[in-house]
Amino acid sequence: MKLNINFSLQTSVILLLVMLIIPLSGIIMVTTYIRSADSVRKLSDNIMERIASQTVEKSLNYLKPARRGLELSSGLADVKILTGDQVEEIERYFRQLLIQYPEFIMLNYGLEDGNFMMVKRMPDGSFSTKWIQRKGHWAYTEWIHKNPEWAKKFKDKGEKASDAYDPRKRPWYIKAKTEGKAIWTDAYIFYSDQKPGITCASPIYSQPDGRLIGVVGVDMGIEEISKFVGSLKIGKTGKVFIVDNKGKVIAYPVKNDEDLKKLVQKEYINGKMNKHLYHIEACPDPELVSSYRALMKKVDNTSGFDRILKEHEDIRFEYNGESYIGSYDPFPDNTDWKWTIGIILPENDLMGDIRKNNEISFAVSMTVLVLALIVGITLARKITKPLERLSQEATHIRKLKLDQKDPVVSRLTEIMRLSESLDNMKSGLKSFEKYVPAELVRLLMQSGLEAKLGGRKQVLTIFFSDIVGFTKISEKLEPEVLVNVLGEYLNEMSGIVQTQQGTVDKYIGDAIMAFWGAPRLIEAHAQNACRAALHCSKKLKELNEKWEKDGLPAFNTRFGINTGEVIVGNIGCETRMDYTVIGDNVNLASRLEGINKVYGTDIIISEETYKLVNHIMVARILDYVTVVGKKETTAIYELICDKDYLTDDLDNFIRQYTKALHFYENREFDEALSIFTGCLELNPEDRPSQLLCERCEKYRKEPPPKDWSGAFTLRSK
């Protein structure tokens, strides 16, 4: 049995408001809470990632000078300063390094004959020098102090050579000598000032016989890193710390020197106090210990602490009834330190305000419900009466009583619009025979051939352009200004493409995709595409000059051009399709545009495009690369200008660069480096020359494998 239950409009509105507002309020609160929590977690992840990156950068900037100092020192063997005989010269040089690099605490120089020199920065800022010289079975120690107060504390002495300090037996000396290169020790407590630090050491060889002379070491304190992580703020009580691959805590958030003592563990062994860095599981901070145990539990505690040096790990754990989140991030693989950055913070630091806001939202929702009911009742009354009148008017229209006029008056815009619509409907029906029959129908039915899905293979030239840093530019401009400026830019660039007989495929935000050769067949499609890129670049300079006068930011656009076989035609579905191109060669053109960022160039063209335009345009080969998603190596070229604009200086520069690249391909890195350096003298800002110089330097020290083809593999799009 079917029940027909009818409700008045007023009752329906009230019920509808109640049925909508209550569940919607609940859904909104829950959704808001979940989304806010998710957003906060994502924000915290971004903050932790940024802080980890800052910590790595700070640590590297702090520690890298040690290697630079050692590289400078190794070169002194060529002029026979570090041969062991030039004591005063060595001492003077070490003092200069300590002055130049305030991060250095002490410089050590041990020789193969057991002699040793140490220059140390004293607490009062002065320097002291220790010189141990072995003569037969005796060793003589000499102290040199510029500060008289310090000079009183030490005396020169002689002792048996077997009892004297022997640098050759020290770990830093042995490791550097064994590995034959600059090395870093693990973090440890310095004996002299009882502070944590590390040592960077490098062997010194004589020239040209390559005989080992000795080892130079730099002692660096790492308490500055602890002070830096102590200055980082994450949440209200979050902490940042660093541990090495053995689990020792080498950096902990501290505010002063007294806090540094928290890093040092004191133990008495055989009645003698021994100091060393805490292992994270034994450190006095229970939050760090809990985070480490959560990490070990997550990785099943099967691979030990070394596993987290290879990848990022997020963690969650409970301590003292409170939930914590955090992460462990390793230092980059290309650094000398197998350290890991840990970040932890209470979850309530992030979620406390969200829970409070949710309570406020609930109270607001209930208030809104009451007000909505009051407004709903009033509104329903205002709507009911005129709607009844409109219902009667609709009945008249249904009966084709088009001449009757019974105007409806209401303060509600929608009611008045509905009334006007009904009046217009009357007028429309009266005029129906004048506008709809025959002629209008034939016009609506008239059409051309129906577009159908399909495509064909064809060799075309594809063009991509993109504005560098457009997101940041857009953040600085008002929406109206941004739309106007972007519209002017796209209008000018598209006009140039069309003038050069190109087809603008689509706009991807601020990017332009275009192609030449379809639907209109063009023999010189590669030339037209390259000329369009050059003209766009020239026009952009004119636009930038105008925008800068108006106080607007300048645009810098990169272009990528490739020629090859693609599929062109109507692509899509039966209800919607686009005339466009698809295929690997389209993707390559897009990749070429992005590669500009690596080489600091504006226009990059592929080898296939270069073959078609090299007789009329100037381009230099940049490199041989393997792009993302491709296994084959391809040559890439920087498009510079038409040959009519080629100058002698530019021609010379291109020839030198090409010659250097030839030596580079043939693994003749010394010759290539020399010529690339010459290119930088001609054009110091040339980024490709800078990149190739860096690679030559690297391959001189670490030659590439035998199957190396000279190609550079790009890791990103």
Q: With contact defined as beta carbons under 8 Å apart, do 571 and 658 qualify?
A: no
pLDDT of residue 381 exceeding 60, the answer is yes
Identify the pLDDT of residue 446.
39
For residue 460, list its beta bridge partners: 564
Is 524 domain-assigned? yes
Helix (H) or strand (E) holding 278: none
Last residue of a domain, one of 607, 631, 661: 607
The count of C-alpha atoms lying within 13 angstroms of the C-alpha of 15, restricted to the half-sphere facing its C-beta, is 7
The span from the CA of 93 to the CA of 87, in Å, is: 10
Is 704 domain-assigned? no
The span from the CA of 420 to the CA of 401, in Å, is: 16
Closest of 134, 136, 127 to residue 110, by C-alpha: 134
For residue 304, what are the domain limits? Answer: 224-346
Tell me phi and psi for residue 214, to 5 degrees. 180, -165
The span from the CA of 79 to the CA of 68, in Å, is: 18
Identify the pLDDT of residue 232.
80
Identify the pLDDT of residue 694.
92
Is residue 391 located within the same domain as residue 499? no
Cα 114–Cα 119–Cα 123 angle in degrees, nearest 5: 140
Is residue 306 located within the same domain as residue 158? no
Helix (H) or strand (E) holding 323: strand 322-330
Is residue 127 located within the same domain as residue 215? yes
**Confidence band for 239, pLDDT divided at 50, 70 and 90:** confident
Is residue 69 located within the same domain as residue 215? yes
Strand order in the sheet with 239-244: 249-251, 239-244, 339-346, 322-330, 313-319
Q: What is the mean pLDDT of residues 313-321?
A: 87
The span from the CA of 119 to the CA of 213, in Å, is: 19
Which residues are CB-neighbours of 22 under 8 A, at least 6 positions away?
369
Is residue 66 located within the same domain as residue 198? yes
**Confidence band for 75, pLDDT divided at 50, 70 and 90:** low
Is 53 domain-assigned? no
Which residues are CB-neighbours of 617 under 8 A, at least 6 positions away?
527, 530, 531, 639, 640, 641, 642, 643
pTM check: above 0.75: no
**Confidence band for 64, pLDDT divided at 50, 70 and 90:** confident
The span from the CA of 534 to the CA of 617, in Å, is: 10
Alpha-carbon distances of 88 from 85, 93, 190, 713, rounded to whole Å? 9, 8, 26, 49
Query: Residue 574 has which token pair?
Result: 């039966």
pLDDT of residue 426 exceeding 50, the answer is yes
Query: Residue 193 has which token pair?
Result: 């000032």
Is residue 75 located within the same domain as residue 215? yes
Is residue 180 located within the same domain as residue 94? yes
Is 409 domain-assigned? yes
User: Which CATH number does the domain housing residue 325 bear?
Assistant: 3.30.450.20
Which residues are CB-neighbours of 567 under 8 A, at least 6 positions away?
455, 456, 457, 581, 582, 583
Identify the pLDDT of residue 406.
65
pLDDT of residue 439 exceeding 50, the answer is no
Of 259-263, 609-613, 641-645, 678-682, the one with minimum mean pLDDT is: 259-263
Q: With contact defined as beta carbons under 8 Å apart, do 347 and 353 qualify?
A: no
Q: What is the mean pLDDT of residues 376-392?
A: 67
Q: Mean pLDDT, the chain, as a whole number?
A: 79
Is residue 278 located within the same domain as residue 170? no
Is 655 domain-assigned? no
**Confidence band for 554, pLDDT divided at 50, 70 and 90:** very high
Is 692 domain-assigned? no
Is residue 208 located within the same domain as residue 248? no
For the chain, the 3-state helix, strand and coil shares in percent, each to the nearest 5, are 50, 25, 25
Is residue 491 located within the same domain as residue 602? yes
Last residue of a domain, one of 607, 641, 656: 607
The span from the CA of 221 to the CA of 690, in Å, is: 33
Identify the pLDDT of residue 68.
76
Alpha-carbon distances of 691 from 494, 581, 623, 669, 708, rounded to whole Å? 33, 34, 10, 13, 18
Identify the pLDDT of residue 431.
58
Query: Which of 355 and 456 is assigned the larger pLDDT?
Result: 456
Which residues are CB-neighbours of 361 under 8 A, at least 6 positions away?
28, 29, 32
Of 188-202, 252-266, 458-472, the one with minimum mean pLDDT is: 252-266
Alpha-carbon distances of 60 from 47, 229, 249, 713, rounded to whole Å? 20, 14, 17, 26
Closest of 86, 82, 116, 121 to residue 100, by C-alpha: 121
174-201 per-position pLDDT tens digit: 998 999 888 888 888 876 667 788 888 8
**Confidence band for 151, pLDDT divided at 50, 70 and 90:** very low
Which residues are CB-neighbours of 280 under 8 A, at least 6 positions away?
243, 247, 248, 249, 288, 289, 292, 342
580-619 per-position pLDDT tens digit: 899 999 999 999 999 999 999 999 999 999 999 999 999 9
Q: What is the mean pLDDT of residues 378-395?
A: 67
User: Which CATH number does the domain housing residue 596 bear?
Assistant: 3.30.70.1230
Is 647 domain-assigned? no
Cα 560–Cα 566–Cα 571 angle in degrees, nearest 5: 105
**Confidence band for 434, pLDDT divided at 50, 70 and 90:** very low
Q: What is the mean pLDDT of residues 618-635?
A: 85
Is residue 237 located within the same domain as residue 216? no
- The answer, yes or no, to whether the previous bond of 684 is cis (omega within 30 of 0) is no
The span from the CA of 513 to the CA of 507, in Å, is: 6
Q: What is the mean pLDDT of residues 299-326?
A: 75
3-state secondary structure at position 371: helix
The count of structural domains within the chain is: 4
pLDDT of residue 485 exceeding 60, the answer is yes
Is residue 239 located within the same domain as residue 141? no
Is 243 domain-assigned? yes
Query: Which of 62 and 531 is assigned the larger pLDDT?
Result: 531
Identify the pLDDT of residue 153.
45
Query: Which of 369 and 281 is assigned the larger pLDDT?
Result: 281
The span from the CA of 147 to the CA of 121, in Å, is: 12
Last residue of a domain, one of 346, 367, 400: 346
Query: Which of 426 and 150 is assigned the larger pLDDT?
Result: 426
Q: What is the mean pLDDT of residues 461-485?
A: 91
83-127 per-position pLDDT tens digit: 555 677 778 888 888 888 888 888 888 888 888 888 888 877 788
Bridging pattern class, strands 183-184 and 196-205: antiparallel
The span from the CA of 654 to the CA of 386, in Å, is: 82
